[in-house]
Amino acid sequence: MAHAIVYRSNGGPEVLEFVEIPDATPGEGQVVVAVRAAGVNPIDGKLRSGMRPAPTDGSARRIGSDAAGVVTAVGAGVDSVAVGDEVIVVSAAGAYATEVVAKAGPKLLPKPAELDWTRAAALGIPTGTAYQSVTSLGVTAGDTLLLHGGAGAVGQAAIQFAVRAGARVIATASERNHERLAALGATPVAYGAGLADRVRALAPDGVTVALDAAGSDEAIAVSLELVADRDRIGTIVRGGEAAGWGIRAWSGGSPIPLTDEEQALRLAGIVLASELAAEGGFDIEIAGTYPLGEAADAHRESDAGHVRGKLVLLP
């Protein structure tokens, strides 16, 4: 019997239920994927809690967007993948499950053999978002990027993409994560009172671009203080307020949907990260794994806000 995590009302992690689901059958253009690993993203908790709109009506709602697994059935008209193929599912409809139905197409990527299941499932939202936001901000050689939230899954990916683009990256994190950020090529700095002065001391010639992946008032205030050009400040967390500050935002509560170009960049970022990771040129840190049935515990850890790297569920 197949299983999935669902919720029927918004609330804390305890609203997540581990339930039996009917075996999936693929419709035209679809495939069924036996999920080997599913990434836990903060958006999952925000949808569960109701912080991001996902109104519940009492019926069971599936959860999770990032999965990796094996194709077990293909529907009519599918010739791009076959039963037995190992794939990464981007924008999965309910990745927290033993199986998921996915559309055959660009959002079903081949899983490189060199990537294990947990890392393959960890790629989607974080690497796509990091690549798109770093690229949309035009980060390039000669830039000094101030990155808020450098130790998270998006932050670690953003450091690696920005360093690859030739930029200097100053990334915020708590002290215990500084060594990790430095290993990825960033200059770590502690967040908290005095941040702007610490960044000024590290970058006497100034900061040219800032990306907020933390969502704190401090991240926004320090970015506004240090970066003159507001077109070169972006947030992926405080999208609802970004227009008022005159800065850029991509999702994260923004009323403006991603453009086709931004969506294409997100997919390109995932493909690039998977290829680089397969050849050892991109590092994906796994913070921990949980059995699928313990998704609520994974959400408790994620909701606490200090996961370094990625949490992954294993069905």
Ligand X SMILES: NC(=O)c1ccc[n+]([C@@H]2O[C@H](COP(=O)([O-])OP(=O)(O)OC[C@H]3O[C@@H](n4cnc5c(N)ncnc54)[C@H](OP(=O)(O)O)[C@@H]3O)[C@@H](O)[C@H]2O)c1
For residue 177, state whether it binds ligand X (rule: CB under 6 A): yes
Helix or strand holding residue 109 (H, E): strand 108-110
Helix ranges (H only) for 165-256 are 178-183, 195-202, 217-226, 239-245
Establish if 168 lies at the interface with ligand X (CB under 6 A).
no
- Amino acid in the structure at residue 160: Q
Does 263 engage in binding with ligand X (CB under 6 A)? no
Q: What pairing do the DSSP bridges indicate for beta strands 286-291 and 248-249? A: unpaired
* Four-point Cα dihedral 265, 268, 273, 276, nearest 10: -130
149 binds ligand X (CB under 6 A): yes
**CA angle, 248 then 249 then 250, to 5°:** 135
Q: What are the distances in angstroms from CA 20 to CA 6, 32, 44?
A: 10, 16, 20
Stretch that binds ligand X, among 11-19, 77-85, 101-109, 247-255 (CB under 6 A): 247-255
Please state the closest distance from residue 8 (CB atom) to ligand X, in A: 23
User: Rounded to whole angstroms, how far apart are CA atoms 254 and 196?
Assistant: 26
Contact status: 251 vs ligand X (CB under 6 A): yes
**Is residue 91 close enough to count as binding ligand X by CB under 6 A?**
no
Q: In the set 6, 7, 32, 41, which binds ligand X (CB under 6 A)?
A: 41
311 phi, psi to nearest 5 deg? -95, 140
Out of 5, 37, 125, 199, point to the residue binding ligand X (CB under 6 A).
125
Does position 307 interact with ligand X (CB under 6 A)? The reply is yes
User: Nearest 10 degrees: CA dihedral of 65, 291, 308, 113?
Assistant: -70
Closer to ligand X by Cβ: residue 214 or 247: 214
Judged by beta carbon, residue 26 or residue 252, the one nearer ligand X is 252
189 binds ligand X (CB under 6 A): no
Q: Which of 173, 242, 284, 292 binds ligand X (CB under 6 A)?
A: 173
Q: For tokens 């069905």, what's the residue?
A: 315
Q: Which is nearer to ligand X, 114 or 306 (CB)?
A: 306
**Cα–Cα–Cα angle for 52, 55, 61, rounded to 5 degrees:** 100
Residue whose CB is nearest to ligand X in the complex, by number: 152
Only segment of 7-15, 21-29, 69-77, 304-312 that touches ligand X (CB under 6 A): 304-312
For ligand X, give the closer residue by CB, 24 or 122: 122
Q: Is 49 in the site for ligand X (CB under 6 A)?
A: no
Tell whether residue 127 is a contact of ligand X (CB under 6 A): no
Q: Which of residues 209-228 bind ligand X (CB under 6 A)?
A: 213-216
Contact at 8 Å (CB) between 88 and 120?
A: yes
Distance of CA 17 to the CA centre of its chain: 23
Interactions with ligand X, residue window 11-30 (CB under 6 A): none
Positions that interact with ligand X (CB under 6 A):
41-43, 125-126, 129, 148-149, 151-155, 172-174, 177, 191, 213-216, 236-237, 250-252, 302, 305-308
